Chain A
C-alpha cells in the first residue's frame, strides 16, 4: 500500500575524523510527516546536510534511496531537482543577487529537469507575486539581494516562498538549534502544512516540541548519539517536553 519515498539504512557519516551519524535507519513513506528531536549537538543538522549532499561530510557506510534511486550518488542540485527541499535555519546571504533573479533560475532549472517549459519573466513574476502575497511578502523584498539584511522573519518567509514555488515532494525543515523564533516559525509551518498531500512527505528536525504544535507529525523519533533511540507518535514529543531527553539517553 504505502510507497516509500526515502529509505535510509545503516547510514554512517563523519566530518573530518569525527563520527557524527552512527548507524541511522529510517523509512519515510509518501504522505508522512516525521519529526526528529534530539538534544543540542546530537548531529541533527548533519543528517539534513548529508541528505541534501552538502560538501564536507564523508559517508563511511550505509545507503539512502530516494524514489528507489541511490540518493548518495546524486549531485546536490540533482537532489533538489528531484524534489528534495531543505528549509534552512540560517539561510546564507548572496550580495547583489535579487530574490527574483535567484528564484527564476531555480524554478527554471527544476522545470527543465521535469521536461516542463521554462517560465518567461512575465509568467514568473506573476507567480512570485501571487505566492508572495499569501505569505505577506512585500513586492519590494523580491527586488532585494537574497537574504542580505533580512530580518529573521523575512528570511523565514523567503524560505517559505521558495517552498511554495518550487513544489518539492520531500521537504526537510531544519530547526536544529534552540534559537527558534516562534512568530517566524508560524509562517513556515503554515507554508509546510499547505504542502501536505498524500504524495508529499516531510522531515522536521527540531530541538523543541513547540514547533510540532504547528506542524503535527505522524511519527516522532528521538535522535541521540548518531542514531534513533526511540520512536513513537506525536505523544512522544510531549513526553520529551515534560521529562527532557535524559531518559532516552540512559536507555541505550
Chain B
C-alpha cells in the first residue's frame, strides 16, 4: 500500500544540502523497461489518446532511431542506455481525481514538503495557479474554475489532447517539430504529460500560472511537454519549478516547452530549475536535455525567458525566440550556477525574421568547485529582417581555481541594417571585496552569497517576487562550501 518512507535526513548525513532529496514511497503504475513501438503504443493506450497522436509518436520514434545523440556540447557524461530506462511511471490511483480532495494525500504531502501548497485556500490569496506533475502525469491543477471564467485554459496536456484537440493538433510540434533534435525527437515519441495553457484573445491572465515538475520514480525518464498559446492581445506570466530525489543513478529528463505568441500578445516564462545536481564527487544527478522555444508569430508580440539554473548534473538547454512578427521582442535573462562536478552548456537563440525585431540577452554564469560552464548563443538576422537589434551581455564569475567558464556567442547576420552589440566579461570574486565584507562583520560564505546575488541582480529582478526570493535562497544553498 501507500506508506510513506521519506528520508530527508539523507541529505544531512552525506553533507549535501539538497533538501528536496527525499523519495515518496507511493505505489506506481510503471510500463516495462526499454523503448520500442510497443512501449509507445502502451503509453498512448494508457493515456487513452486519439489515433492521430499515436501516429505522430510512432513517426517521431522511427525518425529518432535514425538520429545520433549530439556531441557538440561541452559536456562529458557516460553514454545513456536508452533501453535501460522506464518511459512511463504514474502514481497509482483508482480513478482520475476530479477534485483535490480525491488526490492521494501522500502526493499532497510531497508537494507540501516541496513548499508547493496544492490546496487552493493555502495558496497566497490566489495569485498563483499550480499544475503539479509527478513523474509521468499531472496530479493536480488548481484554480481551474476561476481561470475558466476568463476563458483561460490551464490543464494537463493529456487532458487538453482530449478536450481541446483542435488547439493541440494545430500547435503541438509547430514550434519544435520532432525533426528538430535528438532529445526533442525522443520527447515527441514518448512524452507523458505536462501543462497546457491557452489564453484567449485580449485576456490578461488574472494570476501567475505555474507548473512544478517532480521526478520521483527510479530509473525513469521524465519527458514532459508544455504548450502555451497566447492568442492576440493576451498576456500571461508562467513559472516552472523542478526538483528530484537524491539518487545515486543519473536520471534522464528531456522536456519540450513550446510557446506560441500571436499578434500583440506577451508571454513571460520563468524557470527555477533545481533538479538534483549529484553529490560533491559527481555521483548521481539529473541529465537535463531540454528544448524550449517560443515563436513570436504576430506583430508586436513579445516573449521573455527568465531562468535560474542551479540544479542538474548536466544541463543542455537553449531557450530560444523566433521573432517572426514585425516589431516582435525576445528577451533572455539567465543565471546559471554550477558547483562541484556539475556541467552546464546553456544559452539562447534569437532568430530575427521580421522587421524591427529586437532581442536582448543577459546571461550570468557562476562556476564554483570543479564545475564547468559554457554559454552558447546564436543571434541570427535573416535577409528580410530590416532594422533588427540585439544586445547581448554574457558575464561569468569564477569562484575558486578549479572551475571553468566558456563563452561561445555565434552571430549570423544577413542584413546590413542590423545593429548587434555584444559584451562579455569574466571575473573572479576579488579578495578586496571579500575582505571589505568581512571587515564589516559579514562571514565569508555570506559575503560570497551577497556578492553573487549582486552579480545576478539584473536577471533576478525579472523574476516574479516570490520566485525571486526562492531563487536567491537557492543560489546560497548551491554555493555552500564553495569557499574556504
Within 8 A of B (CB), among A70-98: 75-77, 80-81, 85-86, 88, 91-92, 94-97
Let me know if B436 and A94 touch, CB within 8 A: yes
- Against B, the Cβ 8 Å flags (1 = close, 0 = not) of A134-174 are 00000000000100000000000000001000100000000
Measured CA separation A49–B472 after assembly (Å) = 32
B435 at the interface (CB under 8 A from A): yes
B430 at the interface (CB under 8 A from A): yes
User: Interface with A: B147-155, B168-176, B376-384, B446-454, which one?
Assistant: B446-454
Q: A77-B443, A109-B446 are in contact. Are A94 and B454 (CB under 8 A)?
A: yes
B444 is contacted by which of A77, A94, A113 (Cβ under 8 Å)?
A77
Measured CA separation A97–B456 after assembly (Å) = 10
Within 8 A of A (CB), among B425-452: 430-433, 435-444, 446, 450-451
Let me know if B442 and A109 touch, CB within 8 A: yes
Let me know if B431 and A96 touch, CB within 8 A: no
Let me know if A166 and B433 touch, CB within 8 A: no
Residues of B within 8 A of A94 (CB): 433, 436-437, 450-451, 454
A165's nearest neighbour on chain B, judged by CB, is B440
- Distance between B447 CB and nearest chain A CB, rounded to angstroms: 8
Let me know if B438 and A95 touch, CB within 8 A: no
B451's nearest neighbour on chain A, judged by CB, is A94
Measured CA separation A55–B433 after assembly (Å) = 12
Let me know if B451 and A76 touch, CB within 8 A: no
B467 at the interface (CB under 8 A from A): no
User: Interface with B: A6-14, A31-39, A99-107, A195-203, which one?
Assistant: A99-107
Within 8 A of A (CB), among B442-478: 442-444, 446, 450-451, 453-458
Let me know if B436 and A96 touch, CB within 8 A: no
A56 at the interface (CB under 8 A from B): yes
- Distance between A76 CB and nearest chain B CB, rounded to angstroms: 4
Chain A interface size, under 10 / 10 to 19 / 20 to 34 / 35 or more: 20 to 34
Q: A81-B441, A97-B450, A109-B443 are in contact. Are A54 and B435 (CB under 8 A)?
A: yes
Within 8 A of A (CB), among B29-69: none
A92 is contacted by which of B432, B442, B446, B457 (Cβ under 8 Å)?
B432
- Distance between B65 CB and nearest chain A CB, rounded to angstroms: 48
- Distance between B288 CB and nearest chain A CB, rounded to angstroms: 27
A80 is contacted by which of B431, B438, B450, B456 (Cβ under 8 Å)?
B438
- Distance between B326 CB and nearest chain A CB, rounded to angstroms: 35
- Distance between A168 CB and nearest chain B CB, rounded to angstroms: 10
A172's nearest neighbour on chain B, judged by CB, is B439
A75's nearest neighbour on chain B, judged by CB, is B438
Residues of A within 8 A of B436 (CB): 88, 91-92, 94
Q: A96-B457, A97-B454 are in contact. Are A106 and B431 (CB under 8 A)?
A: no
Q: A55-B435, A97-B450, A97-B451 are in contact. Are A162 and B440 (CB under 8 A)?
A: yes
Residues of A within 8 A of B435 (CB): 52, 54-55, 76, 92
Let me know if B440 and A106 touch, CB within 8 A: yes
- Distance between A135 CB and nearest chain B CB, rounded to angstroms: 17
* Interface residue SS majority, chain B: helix
- Distance between B21 CB and nearest chain A CB, rounded to angstroms: 29
B427's nearest neighbour on chain A, judged by CB, is A95
Q: A55-B431, A55-B435, A105-B446 are in contact. Are A80 and B440 (CB under 8 A)?
A: yes
Residues of A within 8 A of B433 (CB): 92, 94
Residues of A within 8 A of B443 (CB): 77, 109
Let me know if A96 and B438 touch, CB within 8 A: no
Residues of B within 8 A of A80 (CB): 438-441
Let me know if A96 and B455 touch, CB within 8 A: yes
Q: A92-B430, A94-B433 are in contact. Are A105 and B450 (CB under 8 A)?
A: yes
Residues of B within 8 A of A110 (CB): 441
Within 8 A of A (CB), among B312-327: none
Measured CA separation A110–B432 after assembly (Å) = 20
A101's nearest neighbour on chain B, judged by CB, is B450
- Distance between A37 CB and nearest chain B CB, rounded to angstroms: 23
Residues of A within 8 A of B444 (CB): 75, 77
Measured CA separation A162–B436 after assembly (Å) = 12
Residues of B within 8 A of A96 (CB): 453-458
Measured CA separation A92–B432 after assembly (Å) = 7
- Distance between A227 CB and nearest chain B CB, rounded to angstroms: 25
- Distance between A66 CB and nearest chain B CB, rounded to angstroms: 14
Measured CA separation A80–B431 after assembly (Å) = 17
- Distance between B464 CB and nearest chain A CB, rounded to angstroms: 19
- Distance between B473 CB and nearest chain A CB, rounded to angstroms: 15
Measured CA separation A81–B440 after assembly (Å) = 8
Measured CA separation A218–B404 after assembly (Å) = 53
- Distance between A104 CB and nearest chain B CB, rounded to angstroms: 10
Measured CA separation A94–B436 after assembly (Å) = 9
Let me know if A77 and B430 touch, CB within 8 A: no
Residues of B within 8 A of A88 (CB): 436, 439
Residues of B within 8 A of A81 (CB): 441
Measured CA separation A77–B445 after assembly (Å) = 11
B432's nearest neighbour on chain A, judged by CB, is A92
Let me know if B441 and A102 touch, CB within 8 A: no
Let me know if A52 and B439 touch, CB within 8 A: yes
- Distance between A95 CB and nearest chain B CB, rounded to angstroms: 6
Within 8 A of B (CB), among A231-251: none
Residues of A within 8 A of B432 (CB): 92
Measured CA separation A105–B440 after assembly (Å) = 9
Residues of A within 8 A of B442 (CB): 77, 102, 105-106, 109
Residues of B within 8 A of A101 (CB): 450
Measured CA separation A92–B433 after assembly (Å) = 6
- Distance between A240 CB and nearest chain B CB, rounded to angstroms: 29
Measured CA separation A85–B436 after assembly (Å) = 11
- Against B, the Cβ 8 Å flags (1 = close, 0 = not) of A52-68 are 11111000000000000
Offer 23 A-B interface pairs, CB within 8 angstroms, sorted by A: A54-B439, A56-B431, A75-B438, A76-B438, A77-B437, A77-B438, A80-B438, A92-B430, A94-B433, A94-B436, A94-B437, A94-B454, A96-B453, A96-B457, A97-B450, A97-B454, A102-B442, A103-B440, A105-B440, A106-B437, A106-B442, A109-B446, A110-B441
A interface residue numbers (CB < 8 A to B): 52-56, 75-77, 80-81, 85-86, 88, 91-92, 94-97, 101-103, 105-106, 109-110, 113, 145, 162, 166
The 4 closest A-B pairs by CB, nearest first: A96-B454, A97-B454, A106-B440, A96-B457
B interface residue numbers (CB < 8 A to A): 430-433, 435-444, 446, 450-451, 453-458
Additional 18 contacts, C-beta under 8 A, given A55-B435, A105-B440, A106-B437: A75-B444, A76-B438, A76-B439, A77-B443, A80-B439, A80-B440, A86-B439, A91-B436, A92-B433, A92-B436, A95-B454, A96-B455, A96-B458, A97-B450, A97-B451, A103-B440, A106-B440, A106-B442
